[in-house]
Structures are given as structure tokens and as C-alpha cells.
Structure 1
């Protein structure tokens, strides 16, 4: 990987300057709800159901069903692990077949085409992780109109374009974990930049908005430099991290990785530049991808949820939706070995709080 990365330092992306921003970029325009700086925050009330419903869907209760899983992209560890969780649930349930298929890059137009093709070919259910919440909504509504059950996970669409969304963690919970960990590593007055996928990727945009609100409330002296896009591409993520290192020099104390690709790529850039211990990388990534950097004492932590559990929960929720055992007004849902999961934000199923993995425990996890 090192030789490949080094050879590509001269790629065109590096020749494109990324200007510093006076305000946070990469977030959305939705209201924020920063958690308390310390102590526990109360769980949100479920609220009134705001999801959609399939039209004239056949009775599928207890029957064998065929479901397609269309993530943001295939070929990356994150969605390979969610897919493995879905297969685990399918095996336990015994009456659901799940096939994972999708674009090889995080491209919303390609993702829409995949969804549309499966509506045409015919499936009972669609699981999705959206590349763009607005752009994907019409084709998901088309699926609902065709009587197909639609459940999201990882990255949501507009609420009425699907029935339920399995939320890996509440955005304000992700924000608190990320910014508290960053402040603990670079100090309360350190400067940092963000490497995200795209400014329209819904979950990352939501996290960034909540991160800004929480930082202004709880870590007001941290200095935000800029957000750069990397398309969830390994080489682009490395190049963008390298650009930030070159541009800001000693001013840069931390890089926040918003994707499971960006975080290890940024860690690789830090390591190759001999900046271990000088530039922190805090972000969302699979433990296995970060073990070399954390066990090698270059990076201190990584943050994530159990992605296998996320896929497992999504498959369980799809089965409950099809069977009618999860319906509007419910406050919890049974999800196999995960027990009962909480309903939040009107039509979301909450997996739980994010976890900070460190050298003390990262080797206990294999995903």
C-alpha cells in the first residue's frame, strides 16, 4: 500500500488547492441538538411515525421473501461486514434470502439505477444505504408504489421514501464521541480538518452539523480548518489527507475521518510523513483496518459501532416489517440476538451508542 500511495502523490487531486473555510463545511441545514458536555442525556421520544408504506403489498407474513441489499458501494470492508450481518440474520430466520448488489463507487446515479433495475426484476424488499437522501427518494417511492417493502440502514433517505431506517447511532451521539476524543488527543485549542465522502452524503452531513454544534458548545476553542471530499475512495482519501498535511504544516493537529475509508487512509498519510504522535487521526473505521496504526502506536483510537450488528439489525427489521410485527406507534422492536432495540425519531430503529476502540481492547474485535 505504501508504494502505491507514494506513487500517486502527484495525482491531479493534489494539484487542486483546497481553500480554508471561515465556517464549517460539509454539514446540512437541519436543526441540531447537541448533547450535554458531561453526564447522560435523555433518550429522545419516538414521536409520530413519518415513514412511508408500500401500496397493495401482497401478504408476505411468514413466507419466504427475496430481498436485495443496495449499499452506497460494494467492495469496501464496511459494507462487506454489514452484508455478513445480514447473512447471519437470514440464516437464523430461515425465510429470507438477501443478495447484496450495488455500485463500485459512491455514486448516487449508479445507485438509483440499481434500485430501479431491482424494482423491474421484482423483489419483495429493498435494503439501502443512501448516497443522497433527496436524489434517491423518487426511486424508493417507486418501489413502495410497486408494493415492495423498503428499509434503510447506515445512511437514510427522506422519511416518506422508506418505511423504517436502522440508525447505527444518533448523529449527536456520533458528534459527541468524535469531538470529545479529538479534544482529548489534540488539546482544547488544537486545529483540525475533516475528510468526508461528499457534502451530500446524508449521514456524514448530519454528523458534521452536529459536530459543529457540539464543538461550539463544549470545545469552543478548537479550530476548524476545512472539510475536503474524498468519495469514499482509498487513494483520494490518502491524497486529501496528504494535501492537508502539506498545506497546514505544524498548524494541523488532527484529522477527522468521516468514512471507514478516509480514516485508515489518513492514518497511512500521517505514518508515511513521520507524524505519528504529532497529528492525530480520529474517525469512523473498522477496527481491523485501524489495528496496524493503533497497535503500532501511531494512532490512539478509532470510533465505530458493530457493523455486523448493523446489517443483522437491518435484516431483522425487514422481516418484522414484512410480517407486520413492527408497525407505526411501536416504541421498541425485537431484533434477534440483539434483543429489543429502541424506536427514535419517528421511524428509526436505534442500534446503540458508538464505541471508542483503543489499544487496550481493539484486538478483542474482528470486523
Structure 2
């Protein structure tokens, strides 16, 4: 956050979470907050397909294909889990050879280089999770122009730069789950801060925008203090959370972690500060990383989906696109053991609703 942005955030503190025109880290796209409580969103009209298409792709229907998965970065639990799902699907399908490769830091320039190298070396399909939706678009369009099938998951690009995007959960569903959990744990008028990766990371920007819209509608007394960037770095996430704790003192009643790195790091910062039970941590993370904090009652709610299923679904979607079994205008696609997956928002395939891990269920999961 810039000094000016921080000053602005402080100036509106105490006037409610939605006094600012936009929480830092949120995007400017339209929002669609769900109904309060257990309500659901009103039905919306179908959206026309808005994805891109490969140019003169080879007819590989039913044939063995080689695909590469280039996530935001490699070496963290979350993308280890999506990679496992990709391998599980490839083995199950029997005609897909898949590998995961990418940068060790969440840097868009490095991610672009990896994708470009695989375009040159030759693959039939590319899976990706974007570090930046706009910056990644040209190299993905280059892949499409070479007849390579392109499917995103976890973090989208601009729609015309890929065929399909597998959405782990609708953004407004994540926003609702996060805000409801915070209000339940810290109180309707609690003040909170957000630890995200970067302000341009597409999925986190969408979640934050939807969180703000839902808070304005259903929990208007919640007070947003500040959003800070921590990349996908554990040490920086811990330090940023610690800075927020020290900066706001007793005013801080909750921390949102927007990444699988930021959430356990924020929980560790709260633990080290001796504030478990006084500062609520709500965030997105893998269950294994959060089990110690859930079991010692420092964290009550972990919001996520199954990233193994996400990688699995993305592989099935890419295979279906290659085989001509998923075409623009289709309403659903077969997702192997996941069953039928619905197409939403024109060119997105929905994995399902978010899942909340708690002390009662978190030991049932191992990823």
C-alpha cells in the first residue's frame, strides 16, 4: 500500500467498512453479492461464450496429448495439490502426458518465460494459474495462435486469451463465506485488515471486491482498516501481519489471509503475539498448513475448495476441449469422478461451492 493509500484507509476507519469507494486490493469490475444468511444469488441470464479459440489445432481427438501446467509458482502446498490432481486425471484418462513446471517465485515475467519456452518446444495444451490477468494474455494468445489448447484454473487471464477457465468457486460465494465467518467470529462491528499477495492478482482482487460488496449489504458495521501486499512469500506475509498487529493494536479484531501462504503466516503472527482468541484469522489455505492453528483454537474457519479436484477438473476440461466434447455454448462438461461440471459466465467451468474447514472436519483431509 502506498503512503497516500494508507492515509486514506486510516481516514475512513471508524466510518464503516464501506466508507471507502474501494478496498485496496479489490478490482473495479461489477459485483454480485449473494443474499444475506443462507440465501442464494438470483438467477442471471446466460452469458455468451467469451473465450478464445486455438487457430487450426491438430485433430487430436482420442489421441495421446502432451500438456504442461504452469502455475503461479511451484514448491508450495497449494500448487503441489493442484499438480497432484492433474497427474491423477492424466493417469485416469490414459491418453494425457502432463508435467508441472514454473517459477519458484510468483513473478509474472518468469511465468511468461516458462509458457513461451513450452510454446517453442511444442505441447498440445497449456494449463495455467495467472499471476497477472493482463500481462499473461499476450503469451497465451500466442499459444492459441499456434494451435495449442489453453485452459486456466485458480487465477484467470483476460477471457479471450484462453478457451476455458476452471473456477474453484464463484467469487461471490468466497466473498460471502469469508465475511460471514469474520462477522461470526469477531463481531458485527469488528475492524479487520487483509493480507493479500498483490493488488493485481486476479482471483484475490475479485474476492476482495465481492467481500466488500457483501459486507456493505449484509454486515455494514464491519470496519476495513487496510490491505497489505505480501507476494506469495511466507516471511513477508508473517512480517506484514505482525506490522498490522503492532500498528492497530486493540483496534484490530480480525485478519483475512487471501492466499494459502498468507493465512498460516497470519495465524503464526497472531500466535507469536499471544493474541489467539482476540484476533480472528479467516482465510484461504490448505488444511495441512492450518491444522496446528485450528487444533490450538487460534483459527476457527479455513475457507477453500479441494485444490486436488481443481487440477483434476482442469485436466478433464482441456481433454474435453481437445476432443471436441466441450464447445462454445455448451452448458456443462463431464468431469470424471467429479461428475457433470456446469459452465457459467460464458467460458468458466465451476468446480463447486466453497468449503469451510473447522476443528470438526479438518483432520479428514490431507493436502
User: TM-score under structure 2 normalisation?
Assistant: 0.94
Does structure 1 residue 32 correspond to structure 2 residue 58? no
Given the superposition, is the C-alpha separation of residues 284 and 70 from structure 1 closer, same or farther in structure 2, using an over 3 Å criterion? same
Match of 2:259 in 1: 259
Q: Provide the C-alpha distance between the structure 2 equivalents of 1:342 and 1:209, rounded to a whole number of angstroms.
A: 24
**How much does 1:187 deviate?**
0.3
Residue in 2 aligned with 1:359?
Answer: 359
Q: Tell me the alpha carbon deviations over residues 244-269 of structure 1, each in whole angstroms, 9 at most, x when there is no partner.
A: 00000000000000000000000000
1:37-116 matched pairs, under 5 angstroms: 37-38=36-37, 39-42=39-42, 44-116=44-116
- The superposition leaves residues 281-323 of structure 1 with CA deviations (integer Å, 9 ceiling, x where unpaired) of 0000001110000011111121100110000000010100000
Displacement after TM superposition at 1:18 (Å):
5.7
Alignment of 1:302-317 (within 5 A): 302-317=302-317
Paired residues, number = 352
Please provide the CA RMSD for this pair: 1.3
Q: Which residue of structure 2 aligns with residue 152 of structure 1?
A: 152
Match of 1:118 in 2: 118
1:95 Cα shift? 0.3
Counterpart check, 1:201 vs 2:201:
yes
Give yes or no for the alignment of 1:135 onto 2:135.
yes
Q: CA deviation at 1:36?
A: 0.5
1:349 Cα deviation from its structure 2 partner: 0.2
Alignment correspondent of 1:343: 343
Q: Partners of 1:246 and 1:120 in 2: how far apart?
A: 49
Q: The residue matched to 2:302 in structure 1 has which SS?
A: strand
- Residues 49 and 346 in structure 2, CA contact (< 8 A), matched pair in contact too: yes
Contact 1:45–1:345 (CA under 8 A) maintained in structure 2: no
Q: What corresponds to 2:164 in structure 1?
A: 164
- CA contact under 8 A between 1:255 and 1:282: conserved in structure 2? yes
| Equivalent position SS for 1:169 | coil
SS at match of 1:265: helix
Contact 2:281–2:298, Cα closer than 8 Å, also in 1: no
SS at match of 1:313: helix
CA distance in 2, matches of 1:111, 1:36: 38
Q: How far apart, CA to CA, are the structure 1 residues paired with 2:8 and 2:270?
A: 20
The runs of 4+ residues in structure 1 deviating greater than 3 Å are: 17-20, 42-46
What secondary structure does 2:242 align onto? helix
1:46 CA drift (Å): 3.9
Q: Distance in 2 between matches of 1:295 and 1:33?
A: 34
In structure 2, what is the Cα distance between the partners aligned to 1:33 and 1:363?
A: 33
CA contact (8 A) 1:193 1:226 kept: yes
Whether 2:288 is the aligned partner of 1:298: answer no
